[in-house]
Amino acid sequence: MGGNRDRDRDRKRNSTGGTSASRKASGRRSSEKGDGGGGAAVSRKRPRESSSKTRGDASEDEIDGVVAASPSAPPVAPVVNPLFYDHRDPTALIPIGYKLYAKSKDGKYRPCEILESKMVMQNHPNEEDDSDQKHSHMYYIHYLQFDRRMDRWCTRDELAVEAELPEPPDMTLEVAIQASLHHAEHSGYSPEEHRAHEEATRVKNVNSIVLGKYEIEAWYFSPFPEEYSRFGRLLFCEFCLSYFGYQCELDRHSRRCTLRHPPGSEIYRSEEQNVRLSVFEVDGAKEVTYCQNICLIAKLFLDHKTLQYDTEAFLFYIVCEVDDIGCHITGYFSKEKEPEQENNLACILTLPCHQRKGYGKFLISLSYELSKIERRAGSPEKPLSDLGRVSYESYWAQELLRVLKDKAEQDVHMSIEDLSRVTAILPGDIKATLERLNVIRYESGEHIIKIPRSLIEQHLKKKKIDASRVHVRPCQPEKLHFAPFILTKGRRVLR
C-alpha cells in the first residue's frame, strides 16, 4: 500500500509540476528569466553542522546581510491598529492586517503586519496519518520598513502586542542592503505587472527546504503544488530533486533512487581547494521534471525571476561538489539553446549554503568560456538584480584589466571589438565597464584607454584565502569539454 501511495504521489507531482496559475503566466519560451547573482537568502545547516548567515555571492568580497541606515533616517512610526484583537484570550486568532511586533533574528522586537494565517501540522518524521498530528496556527508577517525578502511565517509565541513587550521596541530604521535597490530588480516590468507580481507572490508558501545535509530558509514564494503548502518545510532528494512533505516518504524514495549525479553529461571536472568539482549539462527538453524542480528551488531565493514551465528551450549547467556518495548540487545557470538576443545566460543561482566559496564567479566565468567556444560574444539577460550587477561588474573589470595588462606588456594595441573577441564580453558591456572605471580618455580626436597601475593592482591583487575553507577558482578552459548546441533537424551537431 505504501509503495502504491508513493507512486501515486510521484505521478501526481510529475503531471502537475506546479500550479496552473504559473503555467498561465508562462510565455512562448523561457523557463526562467532573470538572475540571482549567486542568490540571496539566509541559510542554516542542520543541527549536526555549524553555519553562518550569508547574503549573496557578489564577487569574492561578499555583501553583509543587514546594515544600519544613516543617522538622519526617519524613525519607524509606532503601530496603529483599526482592528480589534484581544491578546489576553489565548484562543483568539490575530486578524489579517493587524499590526504588532515580532521578534527578529537579532532578538529585537520589530513592528510588523499580519498578512496571512494558516493551520499547520507538526511534521512527524515517520507518520503520514494526519489523525494523530498536532496542529497550530502560524502567521505570515511583513516587517515594516524592510524588504519583503525578510517576510516569514512565525508562531504566536514570536509575536507581541505593545503591552506584552519585555522592553520598549527598537524604533531605529534598519534596511536590508538590497532594499534601496529593490525596484531596480523589477525595472523590466510595468507598474501593473509589478503590482500583479507582488499580489500573486505576497505570501511565502514554503518556510524552508532540506537538501542533503542543509536546511535552507526560503525568502520568497515559489509555485509548488498547492497540496504542499500545508507543510512547514519540504524535503528534497539531493540527486533527482524530487520533493516530499514527510521524512518517511523521502526515506522510501532514497532507497529506490538510483541517481547520484544530475541527469546529464559531465562537461567539467577539477580539483579545487578542499573540494572536487564537476559540472553537468542537462537538456531541459529531455529532463523536464528535474529542470522544473530546480526552477522551483531557484524561485525560493529570487524575487524578480519569472518562473515558467517550458524548459525545452533551455540548457541547464549544474555545478556539484563531489564525494564518495555522489555529486551534490551547489548552484547552476541556464541559457537558451537559440537565444533571440545576444544572451549567454538566463538565470544564475548559488545556493545560500554554498556561498562565499567562489561559485558565483565560477558560474559567470563558465558562461563566458562557453561563449568563446561558440565564437559569439554574450551577456546575461537584463535587468540584472543588485547582487547580479555587482557580481558581473566585478568579473568584467577583472577580466578586461587582465587582458589589457597582458597586451600592454606585449605592446599590442586593442580596440573594444578586439577585447570582445578575446573575452566574449559584449562591446556594450565593455564600454560601460571602462567608463565606470574611468579609464577612457578622449585625446587628439580619438578615444584611448589609460589605466593607472594602482587600478590594475587593486583589481588583480590576489586575496588571501583561508586554507581550511572550500574555495573554487574561476573556470579553467583546459578542463572544459563542451560542444556547442546547434539544432539541425532536431539533432545536436558539432560546429
Pair 297, 358 in one domain: yes
Output the pLDDT for position 187.
42
CA atoms within 13 A on the CB side of 48: 3
Let me know whether 2 and 140 are in one domain. no
Residues 230 and 364 in one domain: yes
Task: Identify whether residues 4 and 118 lie together within a single domain.
Answer: no
pLDDT band at 70 (very low <50, low <70, confident <90, very high): very low
Q: Which long-range contacts (CB under 8 A, 24 or more apart) does 1-8 make?
A: 2/252, 3/252, 5/128, 6/249, 6/252, 6/253
Could you tell me the CATH number of the domain that includes residue 141? 2.30.30.140
Residue 86 lies in a domain: no
User: Do 346 and 486 have their domain in common?
Assistant: yes
Same domain, 225 and 352: yes
The answer to whether residue 449 sits within a structural domain is no
Can you give the pLDDT at residue 31?
A: 45
pLDDT digits (tens, 9 = 90+) for 76-131: 455 666 677 887 887 788 999 999 999 887 888 889 999 988 877 655 545 555 55
Higher pLDDT, 429 or 451: 429
Selection from 29, 6, 32, 495 nearest residue 293 by Cα: 32
Q: How many domains does the chain have?
A: 2
Catalytic residue among 381, 417, 443, 478: 381
pLDDT in tens, 270-284: 999 999 999 999 999
Mean per-residue pLDDT for 349-365? 95
Residue 480 has pLDDT above 60, yes or no: yes
User: What CATH number has the domain bearing residue 261?
Assistant: 3.40.630.30
Q: What's residue 255's pLDDT? A: 97
Q: Taking residues 144-168, report their average pLDDT.
A: 80
* One domain for residues 25 and 136: no
Question: Is residue 356 located within the same domain as residue 271?
Answer: yes
Owning domain of residue 146? 94-175
The answer to whether residue 73 sits within a structural domain is: no
Residues 148 and 295 in one domain: no
Could you tell me if 75 and 173 are in contact, meaning their C-beta atoms sit under 8 angstroms apart? yes
434 lies in some domain: no
The pLDDT assigned to 178 comes to: 32
Residues 6+ away with beta carbon under 8 Å from 30: 306, 308, 310, 313, 314, 336, 346
Residue 379 has pLDDT above 90, yes or no: yes
C-alpha 60/C-alpha 73 separation (Å) is 30
- Verify whether residue 227 is a known catalytic residue: no
Specify if 82 maps to a domain. Answer: no
